[in-house]
Amino acid sequence: MIEQLIPILATTLAAATPLVFAGLGELVTEKSGVINLGVEGMMLVGAIAGFAAALHWGVAGGIVAGAVAGALAALPFCFLTLSLGTNQPATGLALTIFGIGLSAFIGQFYVSQSLPGLQPYAIPLLSSIPLLGPVFFEQSAVVYLSYLAFGLVAWMLARTRWGLILRAVGESPEAAHAIGYHVIGIRYAATCFGGAMAGIAGAYLSTVYTPLWVQNMTAGRGWIAVALVVFATWKPARLMLGAYLFGGMTILQLHAQGFGVDLPSQLLAAVPYVATILVLVLISRDRKVLLLNLPASLGKPYISGG
Amino acid sequence: MSVPLSPPEIPPRLALWHVTKRYPGVVANDDVSLAVMPGEIHAVLGENGAGKSTLMKIIYGAVQADEGHLVWNGQEVRIANPAAARHLGIGMVFQHFQLFDTLTVVENIALALEGRFDLKTLALQVRAVSEKYGLPLDPQRLVHSLSVGERQRVEIVRCLLQNPQLLILDEPTSVLTPQAVRKLFDTLRQLASEGVSILYISHKLDEIRELCDRATVMRGGKVTGETDPRQESAASLARMMIGRELPVCSAPPYHGERRPVLQVQGLNFRNEDPFCASLFDVNLSVNAGEVVGIAGISGNGQAELLAALSGEQVSRPDAVLIEGAPVGHLHAGQRRNRGLAFVPEERLGRGAVPAMTLAQNYLLTAHRQPSLRRHGLISRTRAREFAARCIERFDVRCNGVLAAARSLSGGNLQKFIVGREVMQEPKVMIVAQPTWGVDVGASAFLRQTLLDIARSGVAVLVISEELEELFEICDRIGVLAGGRLSEPVPREETDAEQIGLLMAGTQQQAA
């Protein structure tokens, strides 16, 4: 029984990895007080850039290209919302629509091509731990990168001066400005980091998870990432939990369809979304925790005064 | 705390020479000069709008002067931004605290410091400094759970850890109890004796006479005098500050019938929001003809009590009574129909709509006034007439009834809003922070207005942070602290000391 579970759990991790990257990036962005609804668009831009680059320079080149493309896609959003003070949700929606269109336009030249993908690499010693080893440590290098990203983001937010500044700017840009921080600059950096992470998520999809380009291949994962951040009450560990839950439900419902469960496939396909949101709503019920972690200035334009 | 009679070769810690700062349409600082010696406590005295804040912003690098020189320890300097000011050794304690609610005390302090990021060591330093200067603080507490007095300590300790040579405090006592003010003064004197210069911004004459070695008085952006405040009387300082005598209110006795008009019985309100207060079993009765004051520091349930009284928050029907009739379940408009008038704390945004004209703003609450209606419809002409009458009767300085509310100064807008409510002949009038940010002349006018309408038979309830104001106009004073209201006692039977202790009651502020 356990042996049958291992591949299911291992594929769960692989399915969750794009959400981990995109979610962690959006979490950092939102902690600085900026809500970027363009995650889906930035993921798609990262996916096509990563795919094109991987054709020449392999998966590593693809991931780097995805990160760069994602960060570049975030730049016009930064300029509009942070420098010009436009409405963040509206501008983010525009970025998503832009990303869908741009990636489809560039992608038409890549439709019939495919990539070799990336073979899993079993980490010596760690992978021989029973059950956990094959699940967590016989994955592709990009999945390991996602563990590292989680560790770094969690550590940065909780333990470093950078994390503290980020939280401070997100809570009260006025106070941060008064004690001498460059609020707009910090928000540019956080938003571009979010873009880069979304780009990596997209590039992982197009070069590792399903190594080919399909129009609109992110299939709403960007939106799930945005929702995960909120329901995870801006806590990295809860975000990981949510992402893996979503990944798990995605794989489970595929198996359920395979076993011929007597339910319309559309309904089954909706299960991961419903289940993830349900669980996260339950754990984020406590309003106090929510308000303590919510970046108080989230979505509000900050115009530097004085 | 001796006056540092420094020999002439010691340069002032900070000297300003002929500093001028212009904003469109107004000269905020006009040729201001000022010198602070090492170890001196120097007051900058002036009314709201006298240019004190702009001057401090120039010193702290938040604003650049158009003309003039800044000389720091004998060297001319340019202070380009707050970070540069901090590097020189200038610390600032803001009137509106620049703190982060969801971070701990030590995290808040770390944000303003440079050097190695080590919260454990810093927490020890915070404890050490806070004990040395009598500013007890727990470094690990979240700032939102602190009282206002404790938050101010965080700001002060944050400055002290940067070893400042000059400490600027902007209206530091506006939110403190009298006991906490005394402790703050002890701390400041200790700092001055160690050679730290202190710039003390205030409009409170008694405090300045008690604490400061020198005072620079400002009016309308200009320096109108420099003096030793200990040699001056409050009246002579006031003359320098406002250019005339300090106005006083007269409170004649009330001869009418004393029946309760506004009653609150066992009002409870549980607040889910950790950043807001709850109310516990609030009881209160305001009679016709009297002014009842509620003292206390904002954040102790003031906003919640006001919402419950005005009807923005409904409650049990019999929790609030107007003339004996239960109105707790009624909404704000329905309560106004029964003779309740309400002047909120925020003038622009709640008391008046900033972009609308005064005539339109007059209609916001006066539309139920029968004399404004003709054939069941509102008459705009009459609305304008009444707004004009209000402007005249309450001495509102503005460009007529078509001026936008936001174009008025704080004092004039407040006079208009209070006037609008008075003209509807209410039975109960509830006013929050009636003179907050209002100049001395308008404050006196507003206080007299509240007294006058009370003596005409209206029940007036005033919620204010200014103790002096409450002692000037109220017949009875209660204290709202930690969501609990103390029994209002006659003014003659209490004093600022007792009220201060009650204010600190559940806040460990006098600890």
Interval A246-285: pLDDT, tens:
888 888 888 887 777 788 888 888 888 888 778 777 877 7
Compute the distance between CA of residue A106 and CA of residue A65 in angstroms, rounded to an integer: 15
Q: Is the domain of B180 the same as that of B314?
A: no
A164:B107 CB<8 A: yes
Q: Is the domain of B195 the same as that of B103?
A: yes
Q: Is the domain of B126 the same as that of B270?
A: no
CATH code of B153's domain: 3.40.50.300
pLDDT of residue A129: 87
Look at residue A299 and tell me if it is in a domain: no
Is pTM beyond 0.80? Reply is no
Look at residue A255 and tell me if it is in a domain: yes
Sheet with B222-227, side-by-side order of all strands: B90-93, B166-170, B197-202, B41-45, B214-219, B222-227
Across the interface, of B63, B94, B273, the residue whose CB is closest to A291 is B273
Q: SS3 of A303, please? A: coil
Mean pLDDT by groups of 10 residues along chain B of 511 residues: 55 93 87 94 88 89 90 92 89 86 92 86 92 88 84 90 92 82 92 95 88 92 91 86 82 89 93 80 95 90 92 93 94 94 90 92 88 85 92 90 87 93 94 87 92 95 91 94 93 90 62 33
Q: Is the domain of B213 the same as that of B301?
A: no
Q: How many CB atoms lie within 10 A of CB B80?
A: 10
pLDDT of residue B112: 86
CA angle centred on A65, ends A63 and A69, rounded to 5°: 120
Look at residue B143 and tell me if it is in a domain: yes
- Work out the pLDDT band at A1, boundaries 50, 70, 90: low
Asked if A292 has any chain B CB less than 8 Å from its own CB, the reply is yes
Q: Is the domain of B256 the same as that of B287?
A: yes
pLDDT of residue B284: 95
Min CA distance, A275 vs chain B (Å)? 27
Enumerate residues 70 to 109 of chain A having a beta carbon within 8 A of any beta carbon in chain B. Answer: none
Query: How many domains does chain B fold into?
Result: 3
A161:B107 CB<8 A: no
Compute the distance between CA of residue B457 and CA of residue A131 in angstroms, rounded to an integer: 82
pLDDT tens figures, A14-44: 999 999 999 999 999 999 999 999 999 999 9
Last residue of a domain, one of B391, B425, B459: B425
CATH code of A89's domain: 1.10.3470
Look at residue B314 and tell me if it is in a domain: yes
Compute the distance between CA of residue A97 and CA of residue A102 in angstroms, rounded to an integer: 9
Look at residue B1 and tell me if it is in a domain: no
pLDDT of residue A163: 95
- Say whether pLDDT at A67 is over 90: yes
Query: How many domains does chain A fold into?
Result: 1
Across the interface, of A160, A175, A178, the residue whose CB is closest to B117 is A160
Look at residue A306 and tell me if it is in a domain: no
- Work out the pLDDT band at A167, boundaries 50, 70, 90: very high
Q: Is the domain of B186 the same as that of B76?
A: yes
B8-12, long-range: CB < 8 A, 24+ apart = B10/B37, B10/B38, B11/B71, B11/B73, B11/B74, B12/B36, B12/B37, B12/B38, B12/B71
Look at residue B7 and tell me if it is in a domain: no
Look at residue B5 and tell me if it is in a domain: no
pLDDT of residue A304: 64
Q: Is the domain of B432 the same as that of B471?
A: yes
Compute the distance between CA of residue B172 and CA of residue A7 in angstroms, rounded to an integer: 65
Across the interface, of A172, A180, A287, the residue whose CB is closest to B100 is A172
Look at residue B2 and tell me if it is in a domain: no
Look at residue B487 and tell me if it is in a domain: yes
Asked if A158 has any chain B CB less than 8 Å from its own CB, the reply is no
A291:B94 CB<8 A: no
If you search the block for the tokens 């007080």, which residue do you land on?
A33
Do residues A35 and A296 touch, judged by C-beta distance below 8 A? no
Ranges A61-75, A163-177, B141-155, B187-201: which has the least confidence: B141-155
Contacts of A165 in chain B (CB under 8 A): 111
Compute the distance between CA of residue A21 and CA of residue B463 in angstroms, rounded to an integer: 51
Burial degree of B319 (CB within 10 A; 0-12, 13-18, 19+): buried
Last residue of a domain, one of B372, B405, B425: B425
pLDDT of residue B7: 54
Helix count and strand count (H, E) for chain B: 16, 23
Contacts of B30 (CB under 8 A, 6+ apart): B20, B51, B220, B221, B222
How do B291-295 and B14-23 pair as beta strands?
unpaired
pLDDT tens figures, A281-303: 787 777 777 778 888 899 888 87
Range of the domain at B450: 249-339+428-511
Closest CA to A203 of A187, A276, A24, A195: A195
Q: Is the domain of B324 the same as that of B365?
A: no
Last residue of a domain, one of B227, B242, B257: B242
pLDDT tens figures, B72-107: 999 999 998 888 898 899 999 887 788 998 899 999
pLDDT of residue B276: 76
Report residue B332 as tokens.
């704000």
Contacts of B101 in chain A (CB under 8 A): 171-172, 296
Compute the distance between CA of residue B101 and CA of residue B107 in angstroms, rounded to an integer: 11
Range of the domain at A208: 2-293
Q: Is the domain of B421 the same as that of B432?
A: no
Q: Is the domain of B376 the same as that of B455?
A: no
Q: Is the domain of B394 the same as that of B447?
A: no
Q: Bridge partners of B428?
A: B340, B459
Closest CA to B310 of B346, B341, B288, B355: B341
CA angle centred on B304, ends B335 and B509, rounded to 5°: 145
B100:A178 CB<8 A: no
Q: Is the domain of B238 the same as that of B279?
A: no
pLDDT of residue B8: 57
